Amino acid sequence: MGNWVENEGLSIFVVLVWLGLNVFLFWWYYLVYDVPPKFFYTRVLLGRALALARAPAACLNFNCMLILLPVCRNLLSFLRGSSACCSTRVRRQLDRNLTFHKMVAWMIALHTAIHTIAHLFNVEWSVQARVEEKGTLAAVLSSLGDNPRESYVNFYRKNIGNPVGGLYVAFTYLAGLTGVIITLALILIITSSTKTIRRSYFEVFWYTHHLFVIFFIGLVIHGAGRIVRGQTNESLAEHNPEICYKNFTHWGKNGACPIPQFAGNPPMTWKWVVGPMFLYLCERLVRFWRSQQKVVITKVVIHPFKTIELQMMKKGFKMEVGQYIFVKCPAVSKLEWHPFTLTSAPEEDYFSIHVRIVGDWTEGLFNACGCDKQEFQEAWKLPKIAVDGPFGTASEDVFSYETVMLVGAGIGVTPFASVLKSVWYKYCHDATNLKLKKIYFYWLCRDTHAFEWFADLLQSLEAQMQERNNAEFLSYNIYLTGWDESQATHFVVHHEEEKDVITGLKQKTLYGRPNWENEFKTIAGQHPG
């Protein structure tokens, strides 16, 4: 668990606090329903399953309160950009919002399973108690409410036994029906969120994820039926269940214990989730407002390795290095939004993204932009684009350090296009006030074609650094991790040439994977402290 958390970037302290709160809530609410006399008679009917159903319900409320917050990206972007609210360490945790979102989702799945299994036993025992032979305490408790001036403790009021009685509860009671619906919605959301589905069938993931609306509606009204019932405070004052249960056959008679009165627990879930639901509603309104703002595609560039570059302009658009945006192309899909890292620098008069063609949506965008045609595409024929963002990432902190190490793999190098461009603009125009003094850049690629679109930028930076006699400012290492025998022979023949045969750079391409332990030691040795 510790290694996984560290790899995902979440602080172990944050995870331990979250897990600790889950354990505390589970134990606290378990005791609330398992110990006090208020639920003494409810426990007679349901046993320990009562507490085992209510404890995970409290944890579900807590985690459903959290699940929406990590996907309120405008809120997170605001917090991240506010130095008064967030230190650098806190901002790093905000960058791991989706990791936390997934962890909370798995916790919801766990507590849903416990809650559901416990209630299956509760329903079975409630139905069984209702049709049980008279003369037992469970039968007497189940008959309460049949006469005037009595209140019931057993929510099941029919005289139909299992399994029909259990199915009747599941599909006619509000708690049962909403429970079935939200459980099915949760199963669909989680199963369609696996990496395989997201990458191969993104539309399935996207559409099923929006079942969360049904999930939250069902969750809020799930407890409105008040099927979990306890003895009222007024009744407890004159009827002590720990004493009176022994004489249940004489309840209500002269000199005996009065008949106990019961009331249902008021629904509590809405108090937990109304705040996050309101914030998320505001989030969606902000996204809708942004999506209505006009975006103009000024240029479409076709790069090698199935990659296109979209250069765009939008009134009032401001960005920082390494940020990302969400893009919607109504000509491809009227609902789908996809995230892309900005590859332009804040100093440029446009913003750009690089899109690798890897699925149905990107293929549709490729065709909508006319990239499948040989002739020149007129600007007015280009599709309409909606943009939401930009949103922050850890790359924004690059200017806070004197020495930085940038590592990218394949198309994952896109954030560093923005970083390197912006760094060089700042270096050329105001080098004295630039805190950043040294950049170590590592790029790993499996295929030689992947180098082609990004190598142009590196060639430009290399030439400009040599002109200014500061070739040491940027140290870059490019690694090719995949090649065949014919390529290897070609590399060997041209290895002695002044420029690299793959990238055209003076720095030669390295083959295989970097030895990170040696790389870290070397850099640490050159920059003590």
pLDDT digits (tens, 9 = 90+) for 380-439: 778 899 998 888 766 667 777 888 888 888 767 777 778 888 877 777 776 667 787 888
Identity of residue 463: A
Element of type H or E holding 514: none
Domain membership of residue 61 (yes or no) is yes
Domain holding 318, by residue range, is 293-357+382-391
Q: What pLDDT does residue 372 have? A: 76
Angle between helices 452-467 and 414-430 (to 10 degrees): 20
Q: What pLDDT does residue 4 have? A: 44
Q: What pLDDT does residue 451 have? A: 62
pLDDT-above-90 percentage for the chain: 34
Domain membership of residue 367 (yes or no) is no
pLDDT digits (tens, 9 = 90+) for 175-215: 999 999 999 999 999 999 988 888 778 888 888 999 999 99
Cα–Cα distance measured from residue 283 to residue 280, given in angstroms and rounded to the nearest whole number: 5
Same-domain pairing of 257 and 386: no
pLDDT digits (tens, 9 = 90+) for 343-367: 888 888 889 998 888 878 888 888 8
Rounded to a whole number, what is the distance in angstroms from the first to the last CA of the chain? Answer: 30
Same-domain pairing of 138 and 74: yes
Q: Which of 251, 268, 286 is the last residue of a domain?
A: 286
Domain membership of residue 255 (yes or no) is yes
Q: Which residues contact 124 (CB under 8 A, 6 or more apart)?
A: 162, 166
Domain membership of residue 195 (yes or no) is no
Q: What pLDDT does residue 498 have? A: 59
Q: What pLDDT does residue 2 have? A: 46
pLDDT digits (tens, 9 = 90+) for 454-488: 666 777 777 777 777 766 777 888 888 876 666 55
Whether the pLDDT of residue 330 is over 70: the answer is yes
Same-domain pairing of 279 and 297: no
Same-domain pairing of 253 and 104: yes
Could you tell me which residue, 485 or 283, shows the higher pLDDT? Answer: 283
Domain membership of residue 167 (yes or no) is yes
For 87, counting Cβ atoms within 10 Å of its Cβ (0-12 exposed, 13-18 middle, 19+ buried), the class is: exposed
Same-domain pairing of 261 and 325: no
Domain membership of residue 208 (yes or no) is no
- What number is the average pLDDT over the span 50-79? 91
H-state helical runs in 158-268: 164-172, 174-191, 195-200, 202-209, 212-221, 233-238, 241-244
CB 305 within 8 Å of CB 452? yes
pLDDT digits (tens, 9 = 90+) for 504-526: 566 677 778 888 899 899 988 88
Same-domain pairing of 271 and 330: no
Written in H, E and C, the secondary structure of 84-130 is CCCCHHHHHHHCCHHHHHHHHHHHHHHHHHHHHHHHHHHHHHHHHHH
Same-domain pairing of 99 and 135: yes
Same-domain pairing of 32 and 81: yes
Whether the pLDDT of residue 379 is over 50: the answer is yes
Cα–Cα distance measured from residue 7 to residue 10, given in angstroms and rounded to the nearest whole number: 8
CB 45 within 8 Å of CB 141? yes
In degrees, to the nearest 5, what angle opens at C-alpha 428 toward C-alphas 427 and 432?
55
- What number is the average pLDDT over the span 45-68? 94
Q: What pLDDT does residue 118 have? A: 95
Using alpha carbons, list the distances in angstroms from residue 487 to 283, 351, 490.
51, 36, 5
Same-domain pairing of 24 and 50: yes
Beta strands 438-445 and 403-409 are parallel
Q: What pLDDT does residue 475 have? A: 82
CB 475 within 8 Å of CB 468? no
Same-domain pairing of 323 and 426: no
pLDDT digits (tens, 9 = 90+) for 110-126: 999 999 999 999 999 99
Domain membership of residue 369 (yes or no) is no
Q: What pLDDT does residue 501 have? A: 55
Same-domain pairing of 320 and 428: no
Q: What pLDDT does residue 503 have? A: 58
Whether the pLDDT of residue 66 is over 50: the answer is yes
Q: Residue 473: give its domain's CATH number.
A: 3.40.50.80
Same-domain pairing of 454 and 342: no
Quote the pTM value: 0.81
Whether the pLDDT of residue 8 is over 60: the answer is no
- Tell me what the pLDDT averaged over the chain comes to: 84
Element of type H or E holding 160: none
Number of domains, the chain: 3
Domain membership of residue 461 (yes or no) is yes
